[in-house]
Amino acid sequence: MDLVLSTDTVPVGDRLDRWRAALATAPTPMAVTPRGSAPFTGRITGGRLGHLPVCSLQADAQRVGRSGPGDPCVAVLVLTAGTATLVQDGRSAVAGAGDLLVYDTARPYTLDFPERFACHIVHLPRRGLDVSDKELRAVTVTAVSGTDGIGAVLGPFLTRLLDPADSYGPAVAARLAAGVEDLFGTLVAERGPSGGADSGRGELVLRIRDHIDRHLEDPGLTPESVATALHISVRYLHRLFEDEGITVARLVQRRRLEECARELARGGRAAPAVAAVAHRWGFVNPAHFSRAFRRAYGHSPREWRQLSTAGRTPGEARGAAARIAATTPAAGPGRDTPRAA
């Protein structure tokens, strides 16, 4: 980002006017009301991350905002120092250092900073966000914790991205901008259209299960890779599954075993070797696969195939799926999936 204004180089008597002029020409123009009578100091850096306007501010206590309509953007503010109160649509939210505030720049709002503060702001064009007005309202004018859930990912991510000392090439910046939009979409999903987190968590769990099903063949499918793909922390991933009755590692192994059992039961002259079936569904250690399969189904993979193709699959096989959920152990060190924390 480039330096837009530093009051250090401006005569004391002109500082506030120059600050007001700078914010009046920002991507979302704002009016400024200072708090206090001491000589005003502040610093603004700004630029673009791909197609997203971004800026960073450090300044003395003040109130900023706009009274009329603005461009249809969603602003995400990460407060790195001080406190802030956001007021919009008759609602208010108070944030502390490390928290995030989200507001709609198309409608009037005010941001009150009662003491010296520092923050980063990214503007997300409304047309590029796949969220409804109802979903957006669930996350705007609320203080999003920077230490829990998606906030613990998005806040530090933006803080690192908007470091004035860093710059990115066009291709990298475009990818990072898309990542910011994806993370914001995940934040909206987490909080849910009703303004609570439960429905958002449920949707996120469904997305995680879908991701696992679509990547079962990948030997590198682990809780870490799942968390990375969904833009959440591994810790939060495990928390999401605390109410699911199964760990992520167990779920991966269970689904792989189910697909292996289904394929082995087909039989036929052209049936692939047991080792080939195991490898196809992400098992890299044949011995571990055989042990896990026997624990889940009560038979070795070869026995399962023989019984299935002979039409004599034991009755207990009908309850195999339920038994896998209850008996498949979490994968340990040296196995195909890491132990879930």
* pLDDT, greater one: 4 or 334: 4
CA gap 260, 274 in Å, rounded: 9
CA gap 265, 306 in Å, rounded: 8
Question: Hey, what are 77's tokens?
Answer: 């503010």
Distance of CA 301 to the CA centre of its chain: 39
Domains by residue range for the chain, with CATH: 2-195 (2.60.120.10), 202-327 (1.10.10.60)
pTM, two decimal places: 0.58
- The stretch 296-315 carries a mean pLDDT of 77
271: Cβ contacts below 8 Å, ≥ 6 apart: 264, 305
What is the edge-to-edge ordering of all strands in the sheet holding 91-95?
31-34, 62-66, 109-113, 84-88, 91-95
> Can you give the pLDDT at residue 114?
95
Nearest in space to 228 (alpha carbons), one of 144, 138, 332, 157: 157
Nearest in space to 75 (alpha carbons), one of 150, 129, 21, 9: 129
Task: Summarize pLDDT for 258-303 with one digit per residue, the tens.
Answer: 999 988 887 666 778 899 999 999 999 999 999 999 999 999 999 8
Distance of CA 117 to the CA centre of its chain: 26
CA gap 163, 198 in Å, rounded: 34
Q: Give me the phi and psi of 224, to 5 degrees please.
A: -65, -45
CA gap 186, 196 in Å, rounded: 14
From first CA to last CA, the distance across the chain in angstroms is 39
293: Cβ contacts below 8 Å, ≥ 6 apart: 257, 260, 261, 299, 300, 301, 304
Alpha-carbon torsion angle 20, 23, 29, 31, nearest 10: -40
- The stretch 61-86 carries a mean pLDDT of 90
Lowest mean pLDDT across 10-14, 57-61, 118-122, 193-197:
193-197
Question: Hey, what are 193's tokens?
Answer: 């259209």
Task: Summarize pLDDT for 151-208 with one digit per residue, the tens.
Answer: 999 999 999 988 877 788 999 999 999 999 989 988 988 876 544 445 556 778 888 9
Nearest in space to 58 (alpha carbons), one of 201, 162, 181: 162
Lowest mean pLDDT across 66-80, 120-134, 301-315:
301-315
**Contact (Cβ atoms closer than 8 angstroms) between residue 94 and residue 114:** no
Burial of 165 (0-12, 13-18, 19+ CB in 10 A): exposed
15: Cβ contacts below 8 Å, ≥ 6 apart: 7, 39, 40, 41, 42
Is a pLDDT exceeding 60 seen at residue 334?
Answer: no
Is a pLDDT exceeding 50 seen at residue 341?
Answer: no
| Half-sphere exposure in the Cβ direction for 200 (13 Å, CA) | 21
**Contact (Cβ atoms closer than 8 angstroms) between residue 114 and residue 160:** no
